[in-house]
Amino acid sequence: MEKWSVVVAIWTMCALCAVLFVRGATCEATRSARASRRNNGSGDVRRYEANDA
């Protein structure tokens, strides 16, 4: 029983680390994609405002 507890604890730790790693890796990519969309959108608005004025 003790061996199984150790094995389960190790696998649980590995799974937790994998989940946190994937979330951390995708969070930055999503954040930069949102920032670039915002920058592109605000840049387009400024161009239109400059042309209208």
Which tops the pLDDT comparison, 35 or 51? 35
- What's the longest Cα–Cα distance across the chain? 77
Q: What is the pLDDT of residue 24?
A: 82
Q: Rounded distance, CA 30 to CA 36, Å?
A: 10
The 10s digit of each residue's pLDDT in 1-49 is 899 999 999 999 999 999 999 888 775 666 667 677 777 655 555 555 5
Backbone angles phi, psi at 45, to 5 degrees: -65, -40
| Strand ranges (E), the chain | none
Q: What is the pLDDT of residue 6?
A: 96
CA 18 from centre of chain: 14
Please report where in the chains the tokens 């696998």 appear, as a residue: 11
Q: What is the pLDDT of residue 42?
A: 52
Q: What is the pLDDT of residue 25?
A: 75
